[in-house]
Amino acid sequence: MAKHTYGLIGHPVKHSLSPAMQNAAFHALGIDAEYLLYDVEPEKLENFLKNATANNISGLNVTIPHKIQAKTYIERKGTLDENAARLGAVNTIKIAEDGTLCGYNTDGPGFYRSLVEDLGFEPEGKNIFVLGAGGAARACIMYLGNGPKRIFVSDIDKTKTDDLKAHYKKYYDERRLTVVGEGDFKDRLKECELLVNATPVGLKESDPSPIDASLLHHGLYVYDLVYNRPATELVRKANSLKLHAMTGLGMLLCQGAIAFEIWTGAKAPVAVMRKALKEALK
């Protein structure tokens, strides 16, 4: 058995790319650790976390459907970092030898790091359009906070955008976040320097672009959070218009690298992790 065990808890978890990325990182740095997948049903989550130390687990990633329940549990039994508390969701847990749990969320920081370092886009003072208002959009927007000049958000489900706006305004200047309906979509996007696709449109090879290519204006940067293929239709369309565009593989990598750094205290071997991710995707 490895000295330290890490892993992903979710339901389901079997298609995760995280083991390839994290195990490659442990191997590259000579750390005696392994990263496993744990399919845990929601009603068994608390028990799993309670027994984590007894099972030699030093750290976890948390995915759907456990991110909010894990936050609630750690709020009672451990400590939450500021970003996870503000977002209301945990995707990374560090477990001390005495069993103390500390909850983090690396989705927003991972998105931010990839946006700046991979896409070359600095969001501060810019106008940003986010398509989709689910968990991923929320993580990105709550991390961007008051940095951008304005954030526009649109979702086919209006309850999601309304919830997001209500949450955002508890922490930030609500005038910066505008919910956009279909009617003014085109005009609002025209004002923006960055488009983020935070919908699942693009996950399937046959998916169209979630927005018409005629709406992609000159100079727009495009970040598609979908990461399971080298290019989505949105990214292909943007590239054909010579726009800076990328898929979410960089975000996946960066959120994993930040989690690795939280667990081990070592600098993540990002190039090794990127290579492992790309190979696992094939």
Q: Which residues are catalytic?
A: 67
Minimum distance between the CB of residue 55 and ligand NAP, rounded to whole angstroms?
A: 26
Q: Looking at 72-80, 130-138, 144-152, 232-240, which segment touches ligand NAP (CB under 6 A)? A: 130-138
Which is closer to ligand NAP, CB of 52 or CB of 273? 273
Q: Rounded distance, CA 238 to CA 232, Å?
A: 10
**Total residues binding ligand NAP (CB under 6 A):** 26
Q: For residue 255, state whether it binds ligand NAP (rule: CB under 6 A).
A: yes
Minimum distance between the CB of residue 2 and ligand NAP, rounded to whole angstroms?
A: 26
Minimum distance between the CB of residue 98 and ligand NAP, rounded to whole angstroms?
A: 31
Question: Which of 160, 176, 237, 274 touches ligand NAP by CB under 6 A?
Answer: 160
- Measuring CA to CA, which residue among 172, 143, 164, 168 is closest to residue 83? 143
Ramachandran assignment for 165, one of left (phi > 0), alpha (psi -120 to 50 degrees), beta (any other): alpha
- Measuring CA to CA, which residue among 214, 237, 240 is closest to residue 224? 237
Sign for the CA dihedral angle at 115, 157, 211, 217 comes to negative
Minimum distance between the CB of residue 6 and ligand NAP, rounded to whole angstroms?
A: 18
**C-alpha separations of 84 from 15, 65, 154, 221 in Å:** 25, 16, 23, 27
Q: For residue 62, state whether it binds ligand NAP (rule: CB under 6 A).
A: no
Q: Looking at 53-61, 68-76, 175-183, 223-231, which segment touches ligand NAP (CB under 6 A)? A: 223-231
Q: For residue 92, state whether it binds ligand NAP (rule: CB under 6 A).
A: no
Q: Map residue 121 onto helix, strand or coil.
A: coil
Question: Which three-class secondary structure string do you get for 41-103?
Answer: CHHHHHHHHHCCCCCCEEEEEECCCCHHHHHHHHHHHCEECHHHHHHCCCCEEEECCCCCEEE
Bond into 65 cis (ω within 30): yes
Which 105-124 residues touch ligand NAP, going by CB under 6 A? Answer: 107
Minimum distance between the CB of residue 140 and ligand NAP, rounded to whole angstroms?
A: 9
- Measuring CA to CA, which residue among 224, 275, 229 is closest to residue 111? 224
Q: For residue 156, state whether it binds ligand NAP (rule: CB under 6 A).
A: yes
Which is closer to ligand NAP, CB of 74 or CB of 131? 131
Q: For residue 225, state whether it binds ligand NAP (rule: CB under 6 A).
A: yes
137 phi/psi in degrees, rounded to 5: -60, -45
Q: For residue 162, state whether it binds ligand NAP (rule: CB under 6 A).
A: no
Q: Looking at 6-14, 41-49, 92-100, 135-143, which segment touches ligand NAP (CB under 6 A)? A: 135-143
- Measuring CA to CA, which residue among 140, 90, 135 is closest to residue 113? 140
Helix (H) or strand (E) holding 193: none
Question: Which of 195, 220, 226, 246 touches ligand NAP by CB under 6 A?
Answer: 226
Question: Which of 134, 149, 179, 270 touches ligand NAP by CB under 6 A?
Answer: 134
Which 257-276 residues touch ligand NAP, going by CB under 6 A? Answer: none
Binding site for ligand NAP (CB under 6 A): 107, 131-137, 154-157, 160, 198-201, 203, 210, 225-227, 248, 251-252, 255
